[in-house]
Structure 1
Amino acid sequence: MMIELEHVSLKRNGQWLLKDINWQIQNGEHWVLYGLNGAGKTALLNMLCAYYFPTEGNMTVLGKKFGRDYLAEKLRQKIGLVSANLQQKLYPSDTAFQIVLSGAFASIGLYEKPSNQNREKAIGLLEELQCLSYADRTYETLSQGEKQRVLIARALMADPELLILDEPTTGLDFLAREQLLESLVTITNRINAPILLYVTHHVEEILPIFTHTLLLKNGEVFDSGTTTEMISENRLSKLFDRDVLVTWENGRASLRRKV
């Protein structure tokens, strides 16, 4: 079991952000976390990364049970995170190569001298994610899509067991979005690929590689199961409290309101 939450609730500043969450992720599964803004997705991610701790319930992430046999910093070293919050913390004058190298040390900025092995690995990741052509450009000069692929390469430097992508296509045009999504397929084909957890509120971004989906609503699990079961007219109409149409083509779904 890679992740297990048993009756987990989270209270912050007197408000319940999550309530009675039950969820399991097995090795080899790739999940989508789907819900509207305010559903509790960010709070759940902060718990998985050990920034928040359960107010109630039991939580195990990558074999470590919260409150018993883990150190938060060591757990985070096994988790790759790509998020808008991380992007805002990076130094804009660092090159793409430097940013990817910093992932080996889990640091913002490059303060330790990287080994030749670190450098070779970073170059390999830049090439794998089609970033090598702009490796020497500063981060601030990159397009949004280029920045996101650099962040993914940075996250992979530490060989994470879990890779969390928190709405990574925000601000991307159609072509840049599809290029980024293609890079995720590449990652799942790697030997010892990490488990992917993809956070979104756009069903058209959900690729066939995502075997399972957790539907979150108002801080509670609305439903969970295989992606084809969850991304259906019946489930989503109930999730949104209005009738919607879901169509599938080449393993990808699209969603529109029923009129």
Structure 2
Amino acid sequence: MVIDAKEVSVIRNGKYILKDVSWSVKAGEHWAILGLNGSGKTTLLNMINGYIFPSKGKLQVLGKTFGRYDLRDLRKSIGWVSSALQEKLYGSESAEDIVLSGKFASIGLFEDANGQDRDLAKNLLESLGIGHLSKRAYKTFSQGEKQRVLIARALITLPPLLILDEPCTGLDIFAREQLLKTIEKLINQDQAPTIIYVTHRTEEILPTFSHTLLLRRGQVYSSGKTDTVLTQENLCGFFETPVSCEKVKGRYILKAVHKA
């Protein structure tokens, strides 16, 4: 079991941020988490990564039970890609050095990387389609290229779990589709990590995401196999408004239904 949450709650100032969340992710599954702003997605991710401890319930990540394990060690086994990380990185550093900094979980590369690590960094950038940019300064990259550098950085430790937190934020439609193709290719590789993809757009949920979790107001609205979760009836209830949902080439296209 990669993630096993049983009636987990996070309470701050007497208010529930997450309430009675039960969710399990098995090895070999790839999940999408769908939720609007304020649904609790960020809190859930911070908890899985060991930055927030549950107020109630039981949580295991990668077989490690919270409260019985050093969460600093757990974080070394989780790759996390977030747009917020982009702002913290040094723009003058090369893509290769930024990827290598992930090996040491540092902002900036302050330790000597051996030849094996450098080869791995180059190979990861190559596999993500930007190997030719390995020596270029990060600040010269497009938003989509920066996201692929961050994915390579997250993969440098060969983590069994990779979390992609709204990676398409700020991308135009062409850059978004290019990044989604990169993620799909990654999922289809042998020995790919379990991937959790977080979004608020149904059209970003690729056919390779076998399961989907709908999170609303800090609670699980629905979870399970993607085809059974992303139905029009279920999504109308989830969004609390009439919507139409059409499946096109394995992707879910959502539109608001305006009443006459």
TM-score bin, normalised by smaller chain: over 0.9
Q: What is the CA-CA distance between 1:190 and the residue it aligns to? A: 2.4
**1:165-180 alignment, distance < 5 Å:** 165-180=164-179
**1:1-259 alignment, distance < 5 Å:** 1-68=1-68, 70-259=69-258
- Structure 1: distance between partners of 2:32 and 2:154: 18
Q: What is the CA-CA distance between 1:92 and the residue it aligns to? A: 1.3
TM-score scaled by structure 2? 0.97
Amino acid at match of 1:35: G
Question: Equivalent residue of 2:234, what SS?
Answer: helix
Q: What is the CA-CA distance between 1:13 and the residue it aligns to? A: 3.4
Amino acid at match of 1:47: M
Q: What is the CA-CA distance between 1:185 and the residue it aligns to? A: 1.5
Question: Equivalent residue of 2:5, what SS?
Answer: strand
Question: Equivalent residue of 1:103, what SS?
Answer: helix
Q: What is the CA-CA distance between 1:15 and the residue it aligns to? A: 2.4
Q: What is the CA-CA distance between 1:130 and the residue it aligns to? A: 0.8
Amino acid at match of 2:221: F
Q: What is the CA-CA distance between 1:104 and the residue it aligns to? A: 1.6
Q: What is the CA-CA distance between 1:51 and the residue it aligns to? A: 0.2
The CA deviation string for residues 85-136 of structure 1, in whole angstroms up to 9 with x for no partner, is 2112111111111101111222111111101100110110111001112212
- Structure 2: distance between partners of 1:175 and 1:77: 33
TM-score scaled by structure 1? 0.97
Amino acid at match of 1:59: L
The CA deviation string for residues 177-218 of structure 1, in whole angstroms up to 9 with x for no partner, is 111111112211222210000000001111011000000000
Amino acid at match of 2:132: S
- Structure 2: distance between partners of 1:239 and 1:163: 26
Amino acid at match of 1:15: K
Count residues in correspondence.
Answer: 258
Q: Which moved more, 1:101-110 or 1:55-64?
A: 101-110
Amino acid at match of 1:65: T
Amino acid at match of 1:234: E
Amino acid at match of 1:202: R
Amino acid at match of 1:153: A
Over the aligned positions, Cα root-mean-square deviation in angstroms equals 0.9
The CA deviation string for residues 64-101 of structure 1, in whole angstroms up to 9 with x for no partner, is 00001x21111001100000221121111111111011
Structure 1 runs not aligned, ≥5 long: none
Identity %: 52
